[in-house]
Chain A
Amino acid sequence: MESIKKDVMELLKENSRTSAADMAVMLNAEEQAVLEAIRALEDEKLILKYTAILNEEKLADSHAVTALIEVRVSPMREMGFDAIARRIYRFEEVESVFLMSGAYDLMVLIKGDSMRQIAFFVAQKLATIDGVLSTATHFVLKKYKELGVVFETAEEEVRLPVTP
């Protein structure tokens, strides 16, 4: 079970739409065993969500802006950074929150419809949270690669069609 779970994770991570039947053939296993592995991975919260990576630049009506915000905070007694992190990640604009080593404490990845909207969020919501000492906002200008996917045109097939 453990080894089939590992294989299933690897296959789903590459393509979460791979069918259980196909995975069973590839792994030389029963389809039922694959289905059980998927169920177990979901139950154990090892798989949290199945999603799609969108190429937002191709969406004509999208003006989506991504920003990366460095946040310095003063940790709270007994709670450390967790309480503040929680107050931040509950905003739905916030995509990711990481606790960092180095010059600042939290890295917040945020998505908005415009730079104005993000600026507003930082000024009104983020900077005003108790314990937030300072913020520095960096806007993303262009995405080259995200979650392992390269956005530029991939290298094309250049193999000869028949070789010995």
Chain B
Amino acid sequence: MRIEDRVAAHVAQVPPSGIRKFFDIVSEMKDAISLSVGEPDFVTPWNIRENAIYALERGRTHYTSNSGLMELRELICQYYHQRFGVSYQPGQVLVTVGASEAIDLAVRALVEPGDEVLIPAPSYVSYEPTVALAHGVPVPIPTSAADSFKLDPQVVRSLITPKTKAMVLPYPNNPTGAVMGREDLLALARVLEDTDVVVISDEIYAELTYGADHVSIASIPSMFDRTIVINGFSKAFAMTGWRLGYAIAHPALLGAMLKIHQFTMLCANIMSQYAGVEALRHGLDSGFASVDAMRREYDRRRNYIVAGLNRMGLTCFEPRGAFYAFPSIQSTGMKSEEFCEKLLYAKQVAVVPGTAFGSFGEGFVRISYAASLENIKTALGRIEEFIEGR
């Protein structure tokens, strides 16, 4: 017996994460400045951490209901109503171990072997493998810098087949920073209305938009029932390590997701859920002032980094959301991976090759501005030296 052959074929076929190699090199380097981190550089606000400690002190160490604490689900409903104008009942909310689990649940609840799932490209690294692991077929929807990396409804229409079960809608987008505004979503909705495609709307970066507020596709009446909203606490409240997310959906879909969740995960961890309660309660009481302050801070870094990149000839589409710039490196004549590797070795600056987010990311790199302005400044200086010194 070859032990390697015992691994299921569909698992073996999933390629390893494209950023793994980079992680290994960067970890070895002492003085590298990393602009390749996909999480806030803020620590979770103390009131949130303190409430989790308080929960522990009161002995809140047990299972919660499979769906999550009722208090938290009610707050999530209030939150979606107040911030994004979409009204839900607590019975439509499922608290999960990070938004990642919620995405996996949505995909597994929908996809049968051979079903196609549309995924904008480039996009976050997890969608394709998640679909493949569910025996589905990921179908990329190409987007381009010329269209501000938005979805073109006509392209979407052309890719829909009788096998298309769902579509992932990840806006604001990691890695491009693109957002889909109300008009864009209405145009997309007109295409989807005539189909049976379910929308998995990953809104994890919803609080981080610059210029215009986030619009959820669930706020469009014809899309409400067919949209599974995915969100979480990681980006809005700097809570990545807590692994706390949620899905909101029509009871028929949510019930299917709950079934998988209760047998595989049982419930999200209770300390994190109490932390989430404080994050939302404090936010609702204070008009989300600290979230707004964080957004202002990101916005300033964003302006700084976009201006710097464009100045040195790395043409950068203006990102409208998340905390990434996605400049084109075509003027350097290098491939994405080559650029990132050489930059790392020559100047100790780590950025992520666009190809980590699929082949449509070739010619681009992702630069995170979830870093101190000091580091951003130094890194931009080094990138400029790197380009000029070639």
Contacts and interface: CB of A to CB of B under 8 A. Distances in A.
Contact of B43 (A155, A163, A164): A155
B304 A22 contact: yes
Nearest to A15: B373
B300 A26 contact: yes
Contacts of A80: none
A26 B308 CA distance: 11
Interface in A1-57: 7, 10-11, 22, 25-28
A163 B113 CA distance: 30
Contacts of B308: 25
Interface in A120-164: 155, 157, 159-164
A157 B33 CA distance: 12
Contacts of A162: 19, 22-23, 26-27, 34, 36-37, 350, 352
B125 A164 contact: yes
Contact of B356 (A10, A27, A164): A164
B124 interface: yes
B296 interface: yes
Given A164-B126, A164-B356, A159 B23 contact: no
Q: Which of A28, A157, A159 has the most CB of B within 10 A?
A: A159
Give the bracket for the number of chain B residues in contact with chain A.
20 to 34
B36 A28 contact: no
Interface in B28-65: 32, 34, 36-39, 41, 43
Contact of B307 (A7, A10, A25): A25
B13 interface: no
A163 B235 CA distance: 13
A11 to B, nearest CB: 8
B34 to A, nearest CB: 4
Contacts of B352: 162, 164
B303 A28 contact: yes
A161 B303 contact: no
A27 B300 contact: yes
Nearest to B17: A164
A162 B308 CA distance: 22
Contacts of B124: 164
Nearest to A159: B37
B19 A27 contact: no
Interface string B66-88: 00000000000000000000000
Contacts of B17: 164
B261 interface: no
B26 A161 contact: yes
Contacts of B304: 22, 25-26
A13 to B, nearest CB: 12
Contacts of B150: none
Interface in B125-170: 125-126
Contacts of B300: 7, 11, 26-27
A159 to B, nearest CB: 5
A27 B307 CA distance: 11
29 contacts: A7-B300, A22-B304, A22-B373, A25-B303, A25-B304, A25-B308, A26-B300, A26-B303, A26-B304, A26-B373, A27-B300, A28-B303, A155-B43, A159-B37, A159-B39, A159-B41, A160-B37, A161-B23, A161-B27, A161-B37, A162-B23, A162-B26, A162-B27, A162-B34, A162-B352, A163-B38, A164-B19, A164-B38, A164-B174
Q: In the A-B complex, list the 6 residue pairs whose CB atoms are closest, starting with the nearest.
A: A26-B300, A162-B23, A161-B26, A161-B34, A163-B38, A162-B36
Given A161-B36, A164-B17, 15 more contacts: A7-B296, A22-B373, A25-B303, A26-B301, A27-B303, A28-B303, A157-B41, A161-B23, A161-B37, A161-B350, A162-B23, A162-B36, A163-B19, A163-B39, A164-B38
Interface of A: 7, 10-11, 22, 25-28, 155, 157, 159-164
